[in-house]
Structure 1
Amino acid sequence: MKRQKRDRLDRARARGYQAGVTGKNRESCPYQCLDARGQWLGGWRDAMEGRGSGLFMK
């Protein structure tokens, strides 16, 4: 059975979330496409909210 690849936008959001968890700033977004960049920033914002509420250790 073949495994399906994850959607590119889902992958961009997941990478943005990981960047936010590790404490990277929003200017480190590697995407130029507006859709992927928006998803990356959305994941980054979610992670930063989690850090602000004490979900992750700094």
Structure 2
Amino acid sequence: MRRLKRDPMERAFQRGYQHGVSGKSQDTCPFNNPSTRQNWINGWREGRADRWDGYTGISGVHRLNEMHAVG
């Protein structure tokens, strides 16, 4: 059975979110492509806001899954 690849923009957002919620710096963005980098930074900002709101650890993972299912 063929595996479908995830959308690279969605994956960049998720990786950025994970960095933001874990408290890592925005400077750790690994992408150079402007649109992919912007999606990573948007995810990082969401993750950072969730970290400030107390969504860390398991609750942060659940929040990411909720955002993934809705968006």
TM-score after normalising by structure 2:
0.74
- Written as runs of structure 1 = structure 2, the 5 A alignment for 1:33-52 is 33-52=33-52
Q: Counterpart of 2:51 in structure 1: which amino acid?
A: R
Length, aligned pairs only: 57
4+ long deviations beyond 4 Å: none
Identify the residue that residue 4 of structure 1 maps to in structure 2.
Answer: 4
Distance in 2 between residues matched to 1:52 and 1:29, nearest whole Å: 20
User: Which protein, 1 or 2, shows the higher relative CO under an 8 Å CA cutoff with sep ≥ 6?
Assistant: 1
2:31 paired with 1:31: yes
Q: Which 5+ residue runs of structure 2 have no aligned equivalent?
A: 58-71
Which structure carries more helix by proportion? Answer: 2
Q: Counterpart of 1:11 in structure 2: which amino acid?
A: R
Q: Counterpart of 2:56 in structure 1: which amino acid?
A: F
